[in-house]
């Protein structure tokens, strides 16, 4: 078995082995080099497979798997106002649970072991995470305008109190103010105060569209990034999704403040939001990871596809074929993503003392031969169905393509029934209004 450790120079180990003790990696090295005091309870023999850290999906809306294919080929604000928000009015916690289960099943199959999620009824999302065996950074999405502002603040505090450190430490909780255009500075100041008190970070959409830039400039006379800096948001750990429309000052602030940036190339392309300046951000020393966004705007949660799209998009956008090379792309999807989520000391690398979040990729496929460059094969040629086995927190959650923690047939049936009930509810509302 080869091991791609993502742990720095020389991180490809040929004919290697990994020893896992409890939920941690005890040893990684050449075959036969594991200390003799280690007595495995089980041995996975993996010829022809490559072990690497699980993928880290830095930005999702898990329950929106129920909207997959429902509202395609529309710009962001029309997509939200005409399709997504009217349907979301009919969501129940049970819908959200079924959508989150579907998300978890899809992520396990694609080799994602950690994801960051923003939505509502987050207790049910956390339940799905706990049952699936995955690791997640979760927040209740908050709108700071209108009558729901106080409710979202209260529910966020309650969720963090219940779930931060939950699921045997696999759940990290954050506050989730939606965006600068839905959360004015005075509301964000209260969020910052609450996050400081709870000792947690903040997940926010930032500089996603040209419309957002124009609206914030018109209201406040500055960019969304500068507004967040002046509001004090960046004094806390922040996960900023998208960061598409940035000027040089914005980039300097984000890099200097070590803001974690979730790049979502396929969602940004599909909604015609623009191309994030990832190459410039990395050159400035910014923390950049990779995310899929929700399945309603992607339309899947496939990190293999996202890697390939991110790399190719930067190459054509900068007209530089060396932009975002395969090794850098893999780092963004693993160790870099873990740093973005504030988990870099625990996941994203295969090294002693790290949590055992490991995937095995089957390289015995026609599209992966001949093998010249392992990084390039995984970043450009591999597909999610090549993921053979998934281990999270030292436990096998998928083996030889069989998901061990979820009843997939029941998950698929529940998601289909949930989506159909949402459409019926929306249609009934339309007829009642006539």
Dist CA 331 CA 181 (whole Å): 32
> Higher confidence at residue 82 or residue 279?
279
Report the alpha-carbon distance of residue 117 to residue 139 in Å, rounded. Answer: 6
Does residue 394 or residue 427 have the better pLDDT?
394
Residue 433's pLDDT band, with cuts at 50, 70 and 90, is low
- For the chain, the 3-state helix, strand and coil shares in percent, each to the nearest 5, are 45, 20, 35
Report the pLDDT averaged over residues 172-184. 98
Per-residue pLDDT band for 79 (boundaries 50, 70, 90) equals confident
Q: What is the mean pLDDT of residues 353-379?
A: 96
28: pLDDT strictly greater than 90: yes
Classify residue 185 as exposed, middle or buried by CB count within 10 Å of its CB (0-12, 13-18, 19+). middle
User: What Cα–Cα distance (Å) separates residue 374 from each residue in 221, 320, 330?
Assistant: 48, 22, 11
Report residue 101 CA to chain centroid gap: 15
Mean pLDDT of 261-287: 97
Tokens 């978890």 belong to residue: 104
β partners of residue 173: 138
Does the pLDDT of residue 429 top 80, yes or no?
no
pLDDT for 76 equals 79
Range 8-12 average pLDDT: 82
Residues 248 and 254: their CA atoms lie apart, in Å, by: 10
Burial class (CB in 10 A: 0-12, 13-18, 19+), 136: buried
Do 221 and 232 form a contact (C-beta atoms < 8 A)?
no
Cα–Cα nearest to 136, from 359, 418, 406, 347:
347
User: Could you tell me which residue, 434 or 27, shows the higher pLDDT?
Assistant: 27
Q: What is the mean pLDDT of residues 93-109?
A: 98
Is the predicted pLDDT of residue 71 greater than 70, yes or no?
Answer: yes
Cα distance between residue 53 and residue 69, in whole Å: 30
Nearest Cα neighbor of 145 from 183, 109, 186 is 183
> Do strands 395-399 and 387-392 pair parallel, antiparallel, or not at all (unpaired)?
antiparallel
For strands 49-53 and 55-60, give the pairing.
unpaired
3-state DSSP assignment of residue 245: coil
Query: How much is the pLDDT for 74?
Result: 86
Q: What's the token pair of residue 343?
A: 């988990």
For all residues of the chain together, what is the average pLDDT?
A: 96
What is d(CA 133, CA 170) in angstroms, rounded to the nearest whole number? Answer: 8
Query: Which of 7-11, 324-328, 367-371, 373-377 has the least mean pLDDT?
Result: 7-11
DSSP 8-state assignment for residue 54: P
Q: Which of 18-22, 55-59, 290-294, 428-432 is least confident?
A: 428-432
β-sheet bridge partners, residue 287: 260
pLDDT at 178 over 60: yes
Lowest-confidence segment of 3-17, 286-300, 360-374, 384-398 by average pLDDT: 3-17
List domains and CATH numbers for the chain. Answer: 2-53+349-403 (2.30.40.10), 55-340 (3.20.20.140)
8 Å CB contact between 241 and 291: yes
pLDDT tens by residue, 182-193: 999 999 999 999
Q: Can you list the positions of beta strands (E) in 224-382? A: 238-242, 260-263, 287-290, 358-362
Kindly state the average pLDDT of the residues 69-96.
89
Question: What does the pLDDT look like over 102-159, one tens digit per residue?
Answer: 999 999 999 999 999 999 999 999 999 999 999 999 999 999 998 899 999 999 999 9
Is residue 434 over pLDDT 60?
no
| pLDDT tens, residue by residue, 194-234 | 999 999 999 999 999 999 999 999 999 999 999 999 999 99
């Amino acid at each position: 078995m080869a091991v791609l450790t993502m742990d720095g120079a020389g991180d490809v180990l040929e004919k290697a082995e990994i020893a896992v003790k409890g939920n941690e990696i005890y040893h990684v090295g050449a075959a036969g080099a594991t200390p003799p005091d280690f007595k495995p309870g089980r041995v996975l023999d993996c010829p022809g497979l490559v072990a690497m850290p699980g993928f880290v999906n830095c930005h999702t809306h898990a329950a929106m798997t129920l909207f997959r294919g429902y509202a395609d080929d529309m710009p962001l604000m029309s997509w939200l106002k005409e399709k997504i928000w009217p349907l979301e009015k009919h969501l129940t916690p049970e819908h959200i649970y079924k959508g989150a289960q579907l998300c978890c099943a899809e992520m396990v199959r694609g080799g994602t072991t950690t994801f960051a999620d923003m939505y509502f009824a987050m207790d049910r999302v956390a339940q799905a995470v706990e049952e699936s065996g995955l690791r997640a950074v979760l927040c209740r999405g908050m709108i700071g305008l209108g009558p729901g502002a106080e409710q979202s603040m209260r529910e966020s505090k309650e969720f963090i109190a219940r779930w931060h450190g939950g699921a045997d430490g696999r759940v990290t909780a954050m506050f989730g103010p939606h965006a600068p255009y839905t959360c004015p500075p005075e509301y964000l100041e209260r969020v910052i105060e609450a996050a400081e008190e709870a000792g947690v970070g903040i997940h926010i959409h930032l500089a996603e569209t040209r419309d957002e830039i124009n609206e914030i400039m018109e209201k406040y006379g500055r960019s969304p990034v500068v507004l967040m800096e002046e509001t004090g948001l960046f004094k806390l750990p922040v996960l900023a999704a998208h960061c598409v429309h940035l000027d040089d000052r914005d980039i300097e602030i984000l890099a200097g403040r070590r803001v974690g940036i979730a790049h979502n190339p396929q969602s940004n392309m599909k909604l015609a939001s623009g191309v994030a300046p990832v190459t410039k951000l990395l050159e400035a020393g910014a923390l950049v990871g990779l995310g899929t966004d929700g399945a309603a705007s992607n339309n899947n949660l496939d990190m293999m596809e996202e890697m390939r799209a991110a790399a190719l998009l930067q190459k054509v956008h900068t007209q530089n074929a060396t932009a975002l090379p395969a090794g850098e792309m893999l780092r963004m999807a693993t160790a870099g993503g873990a740093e973005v989520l504030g988990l870099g000391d625990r996941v994203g690398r295969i090294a002693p003392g790290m949590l055992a979040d490991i995937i095995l990729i089957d390289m015995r496929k026609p599209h992966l031969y001949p093998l010249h460059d392992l990084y390039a094969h995984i970043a450009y040629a591999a597909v999610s169905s090549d993921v053979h086995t998934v281990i999270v927190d030292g436990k096998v959650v998928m083996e030889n393509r069989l998901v061990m923690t979820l009843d997939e047939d029941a998950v698929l049936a529940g998601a289909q029934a949930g989506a159909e009930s949402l459409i019926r509810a929306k249609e009934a509302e339309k007829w009642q209004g006539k």
